[in-house]
Amino acid sequence: MAKDFDLMEDSNRSANPTIHEVSDPARRIFVRGALASATAALFGGGLLAGCASTGGPNAAALGRGIGFASVPMRDVDEVLVPPGYTARVLNRWGDAVGVAGKMPAFKTDGSNTAEEQALQAGMHHDGMSYFPLDGSKRGLLAINHEYTDDGLLHPDGMKTWSAEKVRKAQAAHGVSIIEIEAGPNGWRQVLPSKYARRITATTPMLISGPAAGHTWMKTAADPTGTRVLGTINNCANGQTPWGTYLTCEENFINYFHGPDQPDAHGKRWGLKKDGAGYRWHEFDERFDATRHPNEPNRFGWVVEIDPMDPTMTPIKRTALGRAAHEGAAVALTDDGRAVVYMGEDARFEYIYKFVSRDRVKPGGFAANRDLLDHGTLYVAKFNADGSGEWLPLVHDRGPLTAANGFANQGAVLIQARQASDALGATKMDRPEWTAVDPISKEVYCTLTNNSNRGRDKSPGADAANPRANNTMGHIIRWKESGDLDATRFTWNHFVMAGDPSLPRAEAKGNIRGDIFGSPDGLWVDPRGVLWIQTDVSTSTLGKGDYANLPNNQMLACDPTKGEIRRFLVGPRGCEVTGIAMTPDLRTMFINIQHPGESPSERSDPDAPTKYSRWPDGGRPRSATVVITKNDGGVIGL
């Protein structure tokens, strides 16, 4: 979600050091030369972060090379890809997901009902994964829908407000499961499909893991603290080796109305009166935290979904911790245990890692139903000498005791931010997507930006890393000291984003290749190519430090060489996000979120096409785009 610099959450008032206070300038560079010798792909014949390897080529043997011509940056209202490639729209907000007998058409004036929206693709497509049904010919896409623009969602926007509008907005959140297939005329959505499903802000869900049943999870509607309605603000994602989808609840606190003066817990999580103005609490009282103070604790989790079973009840996995979760990149240790890397997209928040207690078993979700309920959650501390530590968020270890407000493990996980504060974890500049290199096992995380760096009483930059007013962001990389379950690591800055033509030193960066800023989406494909997507807010595009970047984009990089090359430019006002490939690496899926978003981030219902008419010439609609090479070759090669 693009966020205006002045509107982003900033609730970390702990005294922990920041990444800028421990950064060694000698480490803020690309690694030059070859990486360590290639190892087997982490997932063998299973699934790898959105790309199934079954039936695919020997990806590592193809090499990390990039063969496409760079796409020039332009202010356009279309999707630009390199010569020799074609991009087509596959699934838009408002398209029917494909439930048999229930496929309402999208109404171009925004007048679809809440009931209809609950059967259609939601708003603001974000993270996404491909699940093969027939290799690279047919499969399922699980697609996140992050938030709503009520100026587009309703014919008159928020000029009037009603329970129906709240229900429709809630139906536009969550996840879509759609079936797709390749045919002689390209990819298409299969309608109807027995797999088709919408998961929304009112879908019944289970709460599992150490925080299930905790006193702070109980409400009048759910005195057991084990059941909740819905998932919201579904940002980035993950895909497990046992074939399930992980959707992540990010800026959930924006939807809750809080008291004039929140308590310390509410304040630490950004709770405030009226939230971000979504007004759900006016007609759905569970979003009024003054009446239901525990309800916000039931959001901010990673949710597991089995896309193959449309009757499966989604499960909120509390062992992975509560956060404004951006994503959940899954990998395996050498002995087959799951490791989940997660960032929290808010200023001065943290990077997390979860290591499962048990090994992944054959047999899909049924055999691994409880795998993510047992394990250890860690938070990262980056040291000045280029080393790092994973600090365990475990009850009764160190300061995480009852005397300090952590009575049990459930309290630690619900208060993951406070627990990380207490442990002295390193505050970061909006950590977003994480990605694991399947060849080198190096891990990457995008740090999108933080313009509060050095402002007022916020932590400042130091001589080791002079990025005060960090508008451009950067990407950090680390290597575990041993297997992925290690508690120590070494790290460096892979790249500092920026534009060398700018006069301000802090915004120049050190990119080798095409310039970019505000890195967000991130994925290392099975060949080892690093894909970077950007999320510059619409109030910033084309202005100030972004004068030469009027649109958001997607880039590719061979990490062994360091050159970054632009692969795609998105339509006006959009964020480029979500990425997946078919097993043969010949089809790529990406998402275009909020095309035509206004600088205020809410559209004028009287002028919905003021900034964009993508993709169909009318009301702008977020959409999934399918990209293929005209000669049928491997994407990017």
The secondary structure of the chain in percent helix, strand, coil, rounded to multiples of 5, reads: 15, 30, 55
Predicted TM-score of the model (pTM): 0.92
Consecutive 10-residue averages of pLDDT for the chain (637 residues): 56 56 40 30 35 62 96 98 98 98 98 98 98 98 98 98 98 98 96 98 98 98 98 98 98 97 97 97 98 98 98 98 97 98 93 98 98 98 92 98 98 98 94 97 95 76 57 96 98 96 95 98 98 97 97 98 97 98 98 96 96 98 98 97
Alpha carbon distance 315, 312 (integer Å): 9
Q: Is residue 593 part of a domain?
A: yes
**What was the pLDDT predicted at 14?**
60
Question: SS3 for 472?
Answer: coil
**CATH code, domain carrying 432:** 2.120.10.30
Asked, as a colleague might, if the bond just before 392 is cis with ω within 30 of 0, I would say: no
Q: Which domain holds residue 97?
A: 75-161+169-192+200-250+300-602+609-629
Alpha carbon distance 217, 568 (integer Å): 43
Gyration radius (Cα) of the chain, Å: 22
Q: Which two tokens stand for residue 499?
A: 């534009």
Q: Is residue 61 part of a domain?
A: no
Question: SS3 for 415?
Answer: coil
DSSP code string of 141-182? EEEEE----HHHHSTTTTSS--HHHHHHHHHTSEEEEEEEEE
Q: Which long-range contacts (CB under 8 A, 24 or more apart) does 364-371 make?
A: 364/242, 364/243, 364/306, 364/308, 365/242, 365/243, 365/244, 365/306, 365/308, 365/309, 365/312, 367/242, 368/240, 368/242, 368/244, 370/208, 371/242, 371/338
- Strands 186-189, 174-183: parallel, antiparallel or unpaired by DSSP? antiparallel
**What was the pLDDT predicted at 17?**
59
Alpha carbon distance 564, 515 (integer Å): 8
Q: Is residue 28 part of a domain?
A: no
Q: Other C-beta atoms within 10 Å of 530: how many?
A: 24
Q: Is residue 561 part of a domain?
A: yes
Q: Are 51 and 130 in contact (CB under 8 A)?
A: yes
Alpha carbon distance 302, 316 (integer Å): 6
Alpha carbon distance 166, 150 (integer Å): 10
**What was the pLDDT predicted at 457?**
81
Q: Is residue 346 part of a domain?
A: yes
Q: Are 270 and 301 in contact (CB under 8 A)?
A: no
Alpha carbon distance 581, 50 (integer Å): 7
Alpha carbon distance 576, 627 (integer Å): 13
- For residue 231, give the nearest of 245, 250, 215, 244 by alpha carbon: 250
Alpha carbon distance 153, 603 (integer Å): 9
Q: Is residue 43 part of a domain?
A: no
**What was the pLDDT predicted at 620?**
98
**What was the pLDDT predicted at 23?**
45
Query: ∠ at Cα 267 (261, 269), nearest 5°?
Result: 145
* Strands, E assignment, 437-542: 443-447, 474-480, 488-496, 519-524, 530-534
Which residues, in sequence order, are bridge partners of residue 478? Answer: 443, 491
Q: Is residue 235 part of a domain?
A: yes
- For residue 248, give the nearest of 302, 203, 198, 170 by alpha carbon: 302
Alpha carbon distance 425, 288 (integer Å): 32
Alpha carbon distance 593, 288 (integer Å): 28
Q: Is residue 47 part of a domain?
A: no
Instruction: Provide the residue type at 356 as one letter.
Output: S
Question: SS3 for 26?
Answer: helix
How many domains in the chain?
1
- CB within 8 A of 605, min separation 6: which ones? 110, 151, 152, 154, 155, 156, 157, 159
DSSP code string of 303-332? EEE-TT-TTPPPEEEGGG--S-B---EEEE
